[in-house]
Structure 1
Amino acid sequence: MAIGKILIVDDDENDQFICEYTIRKFDPSIVIHKAYDGTEALALLRVSMPNAIILDINMPVMNGFEFLDHYATEFINHAPVVAMLTSSHLDKDRERALRYDFVKSYFEKPLTLDHLQVMKDLLDDVR
Structure 2
Amino acid sequence: MRMHSILTVDDDENDQFICTYTIHRFDPGIKVLQAMNGLEALTLLKATTPDVIILDINMPVMNGFEFLEHYREEFATHAPVVAMLTSSHHAADRERALHYDFVTSYFEKPLTPENLRAMAVLLGDGKHGA
Q: Aligning the two structures, in what range does the TM-score lie when normalised by the shorter sequence?
A: over 0.9
* Mapped pair 1:123 → 2:123: yes
* Mapped pair 1:15 → 2:15: yes
* Mapped pair 1:65 → 2:68: no
- The CA deviation string for residues 75-126 of structure 1, in whole angstroms up to 9 with x for no partner, is 000000000000000000000000001100000000000000000000118x
The one-letter amino acid paired with 2:65 is F
Cα distance in 2 for partners of 1:2, 1:46 equals 22
**Aligned-pair Cα RMSD in Å:** 0.8
Task: Show the counterpart of 1:109.
Answer: 109
The one-letter amino acid paired with 1:117 is R
Pairing 1:1-127 to 2, within 5 Å after superposition: 1-124=1-124
Give secondary structure in 2 for the equivalent of 1:2.
coil
Give secondary structure in 1 for the equivalent of 2:124.
helix
Report deviation, 1:28: 0.3
Unaligned runs of 5+ in 1: none
Unaligned runs of 5+ in 2: 126-130
Instruction: Work out the percentage of aligned pairs sharing the same amino acid.
Output: 67
- Equivalent pairs counted in the alignment come to 125
Report deviation, 1:2: 2.1
TM-score normalized with structure 2 length: 0.95
- Runs of 4+ in structure 1 deviating by more than 6 angstroms, as ranges, are none
